[in-house]
Amino acid sequence: MTSTGRETQLRVPEGVLLGHALAARLAVSLGVRVFFIKGPASVTQGLRQAKISADVDVFVDPSRLDELLAGLHDRGWRERPSDPDNVTFPKHSVTLDHPEWPCCIDVHFRFPGMEEPAGRCFEAMWTSTVHMELAGQRLRVPTRALGILFLALHALRSPELPACRQELEYLSGLARRESQADELRELATATGSLAAVRPFLENLLAVTTAPVWPEPSQEWRNRLAAREAGSARLIAIVQASWRDKPRMVWRALFPTAEVFLSGNIYADMSFLGRLNQHRARWARFFRTVPSLVRDLRHHQ
């Protein structure tokens, strides 16, 4: 499918299309394998209803992550601030922006819910990618089955949200119509995502083809339990060793500037600005205490 008319129909901003083209050309020049997930490719494939894309999601061979990031840095892209707490919030991507571009590029090197080692997981996914014409480029994108798996895992992180429930229902109907269940099971097995995707996949499989379902990982259980922003920190503190608890409590009470900037890169980091943000942070905390307690109880 060519890109011209379809892209207009999908209302893809020009900056996003150029971001896809930039990342694709850079990856080819470096000899780095990448493929593009979610975004306009998923809509073009009919896996998602039409929506405006705001950024570029590219999945890179984890062993070549640093090379791709260095290439983007050389072209003026810079990493956006992120929470340095990789225990509470295990990192799965790097977000970059550019002062002259109206979109961000999210470089994924792993995906929440996929528990196989990153390199092995990428190899399993790479065999399930196809070429698509988009942004004037011949890009690698997931097959329909792999695309469904990505979108289902993404929606399963917040199944309580109406938009996520609607997306899961849409994907479930699509998978049934196209008899994708067995291929989804194979991909979930190869990527180590059987446990995470079980609520979506279980009803699609015949009893005779159902696998032995593994237990979800601690990371995935924590993601599902943390419905409120502060829940993840509380859960991590409860699970931490007594040696680590004081440091984690201190971080929660007195976050670094990166924590504020990760939510808003234009946040006021002056002395008065940080005081105001601390005040707003504590106000949010007290408003959500009942929800935080609920999440903590459900997790235990």
- pLDDT, tens digit (0-9, with 9 covering 90-100), for 131-158: 998 767 789 999 999 999 999 999 999 8
Three-state SS for 139?
Answer: strand
Query: Cα(92)–Cα(81) distance, rounded to whole angstroms?
Result: 14
- Say yes or no to pLDDT of 267 above 80: no
Closest CA to 60 of 48, 47, 69: 69
Q: Is the dihedral of CA 68, 144, 170, 196 positive or negative?
A: negative
State how far the Cα of 105 lies from the Cα of 79, in Å rounded to an integer.
9
**209 vs 195, residue with greater confidence:** 195
pLDDT number for residue 231:
66
- pLDDT of residue 219 exceeding 50, the answer is yes
Name the residue with higher pLDDT: 1 or 297.
297
Mean pLDDT for 280-299 is: 65
Handedness of CA 173, 175, 178, 179 (dihedral sign): negative
CB 202 within 8 A of CB 182: no
Is residue 5 within 8 A of residue 12, CB to CB? The reply is no
pTM: 0.81
User: What pLDDT score does 6 carry?
Assistant: 41
pLDDT at 40: 85
Question: Considering only CA atoms, which of 259, 278, 257, 279 is closest in space to residue 269?
Answer: 257
| pLDDT score recorded for residue 221 | 82
Q: Rounded distance, CA 158 to CA 146, Å?
A: 20
Query: Does 283 or 38 have the greater pLDDT score?
Result: 38
Q: Give the rounded percent of residues in the chain with a pLDDT score beyond 90.
A: 45
Q: What is the mean pLDDT of the chain?
A: 83
The CA-based angle 102-107-108, given to 5 degrees, is 140
Rg value, the chain, Cα: 20
> Is 258's pLDDT higher than 90?
no
The position carrying tokens 């997790």 is 299
Instruction: Give me the half-sphere count of Cα atoms (radius 13 Å) on the Cβ side of residue 208.
Output: 0
